[in-house]
Amino acid sequence: MSLVLPLRLLLLGAPGSGKGTQTSRLLKRFSNLHSLSSGDILRAQIAAKSEVGNKAAEFIKNGKLVPDSTMVELINTELELRGWLNEASSWILDGFPRTRTQAEALRKVLIPRKATVNMVVELDVDQNVILERIEARWVHVPSGRVYNLDYNPPKVPFKDDITGEPLTKRSDDTAEVFQKRLDQYNLELGPLKEFYRDLGVLHRVSGNTSDTIYPKLERLILEKDKKNDI
């Protein structure tokens, strides 16, 4: 089905909380929705060995955030290239903004285009359950498709379902780096949520599996679409 009204959705959530997983389910459900994952964009830059990619690789493998100025420029360029900076497009941003500074910069770009974010959802998953997921995660970098050896394994072990290309491990999916990413997330979350709470667009869905979270997320979106509440 298609969304009637434009949806400009941000997904907030700890590493491994299922932002990518929920995004792909929403894309399957709503045919006029698009998505952009900041982590996927960065990994594509790293694979291409671009200047930004080489710089970002150091931050990522150490579980640190890439500097705000780099991220803002990268994402703005991408939004412009994809032609999403208008009042009609529907999109999900997964993993951006990650800091209040990024959120403020994004808002400055969106206001003149009449395309401000109209829904922010925090995926609230117990942080004790997500480490295991990360250790069993395998990814297909060119597409951003994500697998988990237990939860959603590839049809052929260690091969992407669509292209058959080999899957790889992310450099930051180790127990040590994961803890740093989690600490960083917990540090930035408060100010980021406050920013969107003040704008009246913040929601939270809780659950310890993506299967329990997805129906709640979908309901939020459908209710908004029905209410013509943009």
Which of the choices ligand G5P, Mg ion, none does residue 210 contact, using the CB cut-off of 5 to 8 A by kind? ligand G5P
**CA 136 to each of CA 63, 100, 102, 153: distance values in angstroms, whole numbers, following the listed order:** 18, 31, 30, 9
Q: Is 137 in the site for ligand G5P (CB under 6 A)?
A: yes
> Smallest gap, in angstroms, from Cβ of residue 147 to ligand G5P?
6
Q: How far is the CB of 49 from ligand G5P (least distance, A)?
A: 17
C-alpha pair distances (Å), 49 with each of 54, 57, 112, 163, 180 = 6, 9, 34, 22, 25
Residue where the block lists tokens 């400009």: 8
Question: Residue 50, Cα to own-chain centre: how many angstroms?
Answer: 22
Tokens of 31: 């045919």
User: From CA 83, how far away is CA 209, in angstroms rounded?
Assistant: 34
Contact call for residue 13 and Mg ion (CB under 5 A): no
Binder of ligand G5P out of 28, 49, 150, 227 (CB under 6 A): 150
Name the β-bridge partners of 148. Answer: 137, 152
103 binds, among Mg ion, ligand G5P, none (CB under 5 to 8 A by kind): none
Query: How far is Cα 139 from Cα 185, in angstroms, rounded to an integer?
Result: 21
* Two tokens, residue 100: 């209040």
Q: Does 57 bind ligand G5P (CB under 6 A)?
A: no
- Closer to Mg ion by CB, 148 or 225: give it: 148
The tokens describing 45, both together, are: 């830059």
CB of 222 to ligand G5P, least distance (A): 21
Nearest-approach distance from CB 129 to Mg ion, in angstroms: 16
- The single residue among 6, 10, 12, 20 that binds ligand G5P, judged by CB under 6 A, is 20
Q: What's the rounded Cα separation, in Å, for the pair 166 and 161? A: 10
Interaction between residue 189 and ligand G5P (CB under 6 A): no
In the DSSP assignment, the letter for residue 155 is S
Among 20, 63, 97, 154, binds Mg ion (CB under 5 A): 20
- Considering CB distances under 5 to 8 angstroms, the limit depending on partner class, which of Mg ion, ligand G5P, none binds residue 181? ligand G5P
Near ligand G5P in 86-115, by CB under 6 A: 95-98, 102
Instruction: Quickly tell me which residue has 């013509």 as its tokens.
Output: 228
Residues near ligand G5P, by CB under 6 A: 13, 15-21, 38-39, 42, 59-60, 64-66, 71, 95-98, 102, 133, 137, 146-148, 150-152, 172, 181, 209-210
